[in-house]
Every structure is written in structure tokens, then in C-alpha cells.
Chain A
Amino acid sequence: MTDQPAVELQAVSKTFGDESTGVRALDGVDLALADGSFTAIMGPSGSGKSTFLNCAAGLESITSGDVRIAGQSIAGWDDTELTKFRRKQVGFVFQGFNLIPYLTAEQNVALPLKLARRRSSPRRVRELLESVGMAERRGHLPSELSGGQQQRVALARALVTDPAVIFADEPTGALDTTSARAVLELLRTSAHDLGQTIVMVTHDPVAAAVADSVVYLVDGRIVGTMAHPSADAVAAQLAHLDDFTAVAR
């Protein structure tokens, strides 16, 4: 671990459409996430959660400001440069799992290494599958796995390149309560035991409570943070986001 933040957003703004008349999805967001931290981003629909994630991960260009991942500014890079950067430094976990349907669990996990033209060590792939409890099913195709199992394979795939940060977008949104709890537990152990930085966008207070801290986003602005959250406290805070907005204005 270093003192340098894993992810840093400086005065990031994102406007869709015309500068003056368009929609401001992000409005001067400043945020630094320490290496090995597990942060949940919360906010009502339309608060800019998804835009935040896309901009922080370099999937969408920003209108102004700067985004740094592992100390490197990625603002203004073209698609191929960003893709090559993502291979090494960014992992993704999505609500819809997004495994490649014709590759086995093991091949799916090894794929990012192959793409980065790095030697894919079968041992590392197996250890990761073991750590997410999927070692026995490593030869199965995604269609032969349950949603929870697919999401655990997706997490192993995100971890395999040892990225600077993993972005998770509603990772438990499509799962039943038991599978969701297992996936959240794995995210937490990844952060605490492996020192993996994780940013998770969610609107589920139970999911957010697993994180070390919660950042609240309203109308594209950060309106508050909560350290050591509990599900009840997160839910209570969500119910009173209007107060935040009033203060911010």
C-alpha cells in the first residue's frame, strides 16, 4: 500500500449535450479513494451514480477536471489507450455478470491475462477460483452455473490482473438474498485481505453497509459521506437526502 490514492477525481464535471443547455450529470466532483478501501456510492435514480462510475473507470470522457487511477491521469485518452490501460488497472463486476458464454469458468478468469499478453498462470487462476469457492466448477460454462456462481466467477475474473481498482455496478442486483450475501462477503474479503480497492455503486442499503464508507451523490454532487455504515443508518440517511440537498444548495 502507498499513500497515493488508488482513484482520484478532481473537480470532475460531465455534461451531456450542449454545455449551456445540456444535462449536468456530474458537477465538480472531488473524491480520493485510498488504496485498499471499499467504498459504496449511493444516491437516488438520476443522481449520477452510473455516470460517476463510467467517468471514474474511463469508460466515458469527462467535460472538465481530471481522473487519476494509480496516479496516472486518464483524461483525454483515446479508446485503444483506455482499453489497454483497463486491461492492467481496472476490473469490472456488473449486475448482469457478463461472462463470455462459450468459455468455461476457468477460461473466463484467464481471459484478461491473455488479452494483456501476460503469461496466464493456471495456478493463479485456480487459486482465485478456489478463493471465490468455484474451484470445483471451473470446467463449467456460464449457462451451467447459477447467478450467484456466475457473479463469483466474474469477481475472480476482475481480480486476476491485480488491478488498481475494481468497479462494481449493482453487483447483487440480480441475485437472491443468500447469493447476494456471499458475493458481498467476497468483496469485503478482497478489500480487507487482499488489499483490493473496490468502488461499488448500489441502491441497496444492506449492500452499502458491507463497505468501509458510503458516499452519497445527489444531482451529480457529493452531498455527504458516512464511515463504518450500518444498513439502518444508510437507509435512514437515504430517506433524508433532501436535507443534504438543501445544505448543498
Chain B
Amino acid sequence: MTRLAMASLRSRGVSLLACFVSIFLGATIITGFSSLLDTASGSGVSDADSGTLVTMASVVGGWGLIIVLFAVSSTLGITVRQRASELALLRTIGATNSQVRALVRRETAVVAVVASALALVPGWLLGRWILSLVVSADMVDDAVEHRFTVPTMVVLVVAMLVVSLVAATLATRRATSGRANEALGGSVSLGNRMGRLRVVAGLVALLIGASLSTLTLVLPKTDDPFGVMMTAGPASIFWALGLALWSPWLLKGFVSVVGRPLAVLGVPVHLAVANARHRTIQLSTTLMPIIIMTGIGTGTIYLVAIQNSITTHADVDSKSIAALNYIVIGMVTVFAAIMVVNTLVAATNDRRREFASQRLIGSTTGDITASVATEGALLAVTGIVFGGLASLGTIIPFALVQTDEWLPDDGPWIFIGIAAVAAILTLGTSVVAARRAVRAPAIETVLAA
């Protein structure tokens, strides 16, 4: 029992850590760009400089905010779901729904305040660094001084607190619906049906992506080399978003194509294919960040590479544009990595009981690890293929307009590198999580439920 309690604490620690890291990194990025807003309102900053800084802070900071909202609500959702039976137990002994929600909100509030307060210093440093990039690109005057004021800090911490509390409220709503004794059973959720909202949102994102790709091709070419980037750059972001939202369908389609031929490879593969087919909604929580990371990463890096190839002498201007692009990619990649690891660890922990049942009917721990690794491979391949397709929404139109060729000269190596990162992350996490999940004796796990 002690071992079980320790295991529960450890997994709780991991998921709270994921939540903490999401808020901390998100707050760092938002702090960095918010300090540019402070800087813009400093005395002696010209209207033009102020405009440049505000635009940049709003665009990049805005994307950061969306990613943070997504990541925090996802990680919190997992934390709450892992505690579903504990929360149900509280309800059976007399806690009301609002008391349960208040408990989770309070825990989240503590994590949010600590994480965003700790993020102020790295955020301040990030802001200084971004300003130095912008200054060296001659986008603003050398005399502009970096500023970061106390009121902004307070607003930031409060804002992160509010965002986290909204995420916590959304996350607990499902845990407190339905009857407590049903939730206590903690049955494993299966699901293939996508909500209507999700289908529509995916369609809208894909349509925006398609129109941005088309606009890149048909808009008249201007003297401003960065004008084309304004439509080509976001195209792959929307393509990736749309495909990510539709990822349960993509996974189901992919598995039904490769499933039958693969299943002859043995029982672990047979089980992995069956699981992927029946749990597409749950597995898509891992698939989404893989598609987004691969799509946005590949699209943006090739965009910068194409731009650099046509600028004969790499001027400072394009260097700092490149730097800003890399900041966005880095941000997306780190958050995607956190979400991949977090969702995989949570999904694997949820299956401890099922793994134990498998072992009692004759699966070795090696069989189970192989099965989970196969699922990881299915997810990685699906995510890389569709992420790669999404990136073409940026690459093809931009290459056609700028170089009259379909694809850039740089070859496939950038894409292969990003795909390798995604694959190693997914497979590595799957194997480590599966090993941890089968460490306890099977019989204890089955009887403890």
C-alpha cells in the first residue's frame, strides 16, 4: 500500500510539475514581450519606434498567450483527470461540487502565483535580449532603453493567475459532473466521436490556412521583402492547427490503412493497433502537439532559409527577423514537447490496471513495453506525416513566389531533423512511461483497484 501511495504521489508530482513548467515558461515569454510594451511607453521613444515595439509585442506575445492557454488547460485537465477517483471519493463523503472545484482552484492558484512570480526575472532578461536584437536590426533607435515597471509585473502575475483559474474551472467541470459513485469506478474512457465544435473549428482553421497559401501566390509582389512572409508564415500555423483538431480522423484513417498488414507482426502490434483504433480522441491529445510542432517548425525554418537564400548579403534586418522566427519556433517546440511528454505519461499511468490484467493472462513486461512503443511509433509517424503536409502550406507558395521553384534548395535535412526530434521524444517517453507503469507486481495493481 505504501508503494502504491508513493506511486500516486510521484505521478501527481510529475503532472503538477508539468503544469508548473507550462505556467513558468509561458509567463517568461509573456513577461519578455510585455516589457517591450513598457519600453514603448517610455519617455523619449519616438512614435514610429513605439509602434514597431507594440506591434511585435502584440503579434509574438499574442501567439505566446494562445499557446500558454492551450498548454495550461491541457496539463491541468490531465492532473484533474488523474485525480478523478480521489475527487469522487471526496464527493461521496460529503464534499459538494463547488467545494471540490474550490480545492483544485486553490491548488492551481498557488502553482500559478509561484510560477509566474519566478518567471519575472528570466522574462525581464528575455525582454532585454529581444530589444537588443531589435536595436541591432536598426528597427528602433539605439537610444531606446529597456523598461519594466512594477505595475506591469503585478498585472502579469494577476493575468497568469486568472488564466490558470479559468483553465482549472474548465478542467474540473467534467470531473464533477455525473454521479460520484460512477466516477469512483474510474472506468477507462474510450471514445472516437469528435464534438461538432471541434469539427467546425478544424474546418475554419484549414480554410484560413488555404486562403493564406493562396493569397501568398496571387497577391502582387511588393518591394517589401517581408510582405510575403505576412501571409506565407501563418499559413502553416493554421494548416497545422486544422489538421491537429481533425487528428482523431487522421489517426483512424492512418491506422485502418496500416493496421491490418502491421498486425501480423505479433501480439504487441495487434494490441497497439486495436488501442489506437478505439481511443482516437484520447491519443489525439498527444498527436496534436506533434502535428503542431512539426508543421510550424518545418514551415517556419524553411521560410527563413528561402528568404536567406535570395538575400545576397545577409543583412542585419533579415537576421533579426530570423531570430524572431526562431523564438516563435523555440516557444512552440518547448510547449509541444511538454505536452507530448505529459499526455503520454498520463495516458500510460491511466492504463496500469489494464497492463496488470494483460500480465496475468500471459503478457511479459517486454510485450507491454513493445505494445506501448508501437503506439508511440504510430503517433509519431502520423504526426510527422501530417505536420509535414501542413508545412507545405507555407513552403510551396513562398518558394514559388520567391524562387519560382516548388521546393527550396536546402533539401530535406531540416525536415528530417525536426521529424527525428518528434520521433525520439514520442518513442522515448512511451518506453520510459511503460517501464514505470509495469514495475509494480501485477497482482497488487489488479487488486488495489
* A interface residues, Cβ below 8 angstroms from B: 50, 54, 59-60, 79-80, 83-84, 86-87, 91-92, 94, 96, 98-103, 107, 111-112, 114-116, 141, 143, 157, 169
**Chain B residues with Cβ under 8 A from A60's Cβ?**
441, 443
Which one, B37-45, B65-73, B354-362, is touching chain A?
A: B354-362
B202-220 contact mask (Cβ, 8 Å, vs A): 1 or 0: 0000000000000000000
Known A107-B274, A115-B362, A115-B367: A141·B357 in contact at CB below 8 Å: no
Q: Which residue of B lies closest to A50 (CB)?
A: B447
Pairs across A and B, CB under 8 Å, 24 listed: A50-B447, A79-B364, A79-B365, A84-B362, A84-B364, A86-B361, A86-B362, A96-B446, A98-B446, A99-B357, A100-B271, A100-B354, A100-B357, A101-B188, A101-B278, A102-B274, A102-B279, A111-B361, A114-B270, A115-B267, A115-B361, A115-B367, A116-B362, A143-B187
Please report the C-alpha to C-alpha distance between residue A100 and residue B277 in the assembled complex, in whole angstroms.
14
Which 4 A-B residue pairings sit nearest by Cβ, starting from the closest?
A87-B362, A98-B357, A102-B278, A115-B362
B343 CB to nearest A CB, Å: 17
Contact A83 B357, beta carbon cutoff 8 Å: no
A45 CB to nearest B CB, Å: 13
**Chain B residues with Cβ under 8 A from A54's Cβ?**
443
Known A100-B271, A101-B354: A86·B446 in contact at CB below 8 Å: no
**Chain A residues with Cβ under 8 A from B356's Cβ?**
98
B389 CB to nearest A CB, Å: 28
Contact A115 B190, beta carbon cutoff 8 Å: no
Q: Which residue of B lies closest to A83 (CB)?
A: B364
B309: interface (CB < 8 Å): no
A134 CB to nearest B CB, Å: 17
Q: Which residue of B lies closest to A102 (CB)?
A: B278
Contact B190 A141, beta carbon cutoff 8 Å: yes
Contact partner of A114 (CB less than 8 A), chosen from B188, B267, B441, B447, is B267
Please report the C-alpha to C-alpha distance between residue A112 and residue B271 in the assembled complex, in whole angstroms.
12
Contact partner of A103 (CB less than 8 A), chosen from B274, B359, B447, is B274
B128: interface (CB < 8 Å): no
B397-431 contact mask (Cβ, 8 Å, vs A): 1 or 0: 00000000000000000000000000000000000
B449: interface (CB < 8 Å): yes
A99 CB to nearest B CB, Å: 7
B336-368 contact mask (Cβ, 8 Å, vs A): 1 or 0: 000000000000000001101111111111110
B176: interface (CB < 8 Å): no
**Chain B residues with Cβ under 8 A from A98's Cβ?**
353, 356-357, 360, 446
B99 CB to nearest A CB, Å: 29
B325: interface (CB < 8 Å): no
**Chain A residues with Cβ under 8 A from B366's Cβ?**
80
Chain B interface residue bracket vs A:
20 to 34
Contact partner of A96 (CB less than 8 A), chosen from B190, B279, B449, is B449
Contact A102 B359, beta carbon cutoff 8 Å: no
Q: Which residue of B lies closest to A158 (CB)?
A: B361
B275: interface (CB < 8 Å): yes
**Chain A residues with Cβ under 8 A from B271's Cβ?**
100, 103
Contact B361 A157, beta carbon cutoff 8 Å: yes
Contact B446 A83, beta carbon cutoff 8 Å: no
B442: interface (CB < 8 Å): yes
Please report the C-alpha to C-alpha distance between residue A54 and residue B275 in the assembled complex, in whole angstroms.
29
Please report the C-alpha to C-alpha distance between residue A84 and residue B367 in the assembled complex, in whole angstroms.
12
Please report the C-alpha to C-alpha distance between residue A169 and residue B367 in the assembled complex, in whole angstroms.
25
Contact A59 B361, beta carbon cutoff 8 Å: no
A69 CB to nearest B CB, Å: 14
**Chain A residues with Cβ under 8 A from B367's Cβ?**
115
Other 5 A-B pairs with CB < 8 A, given A83-B359, A94-B447: A59-B441, A83-B364, A86-B362, A112-B361, A141-B190
**Chain A residues with Cβ under 8 A from B365's Cβ?**
79-80
Centre residue among B270, B361, B362 by max chain A CB count within 10 A = B361
Q: Which residue of B lies closest to A114 (CB)?
A: B267
Q: Which residue of A lies closest to B357 (CB)?
A: A98
Please report the C-alpha to C-alpha distance between residue A247 and residue B354 in the assembled complex, in whole angstroms.
43
A228 CB to nearest B CB, Å: 30
Please report the C-alpha to C-alpha distance between residue A187 and residue B356 in the assembled complex, in whole angstroms.
23
Please report the C-alpha to C-alpha distance between residue A112 and residue B357 in the assembled complex, in whole angstroms.
11
Within 8 A of A (CB), among B282-332: none
Contact partner of A83 (CB less than 8 A), chosen from B354, B362, B447, is B362
Contact B363 A83, beta carbon cutoff 8 Å: yes
Contact B274 A92, beta carbon cutoff 8 Å: no
Contact B362 A112, beta carbon cutoff 8 Å: yes
A165 CB to nearest B CB, Å: 14
Please report the C-alpha to C-alpha distance between residue A62 and residue B11 in the assembled complex, in whole angstroms.
31
Q: Which residue of A lies closest to B363 (CB)?
A: A115
A125 CB to nearest B CB, Å: 14
Contact partner of A59 (CB less than 8 A), chosen from B267, B354, B443, is B443
Known A84-B364, A96-B446: A141·B278 in contact at CB below 8 Å: yes
A46 CB to nearest B CB, Å: 14
Please report the C-alpha to C-alpha distance between residue A94 and residue B359 in the assembled complex, in whole angstroms.
13
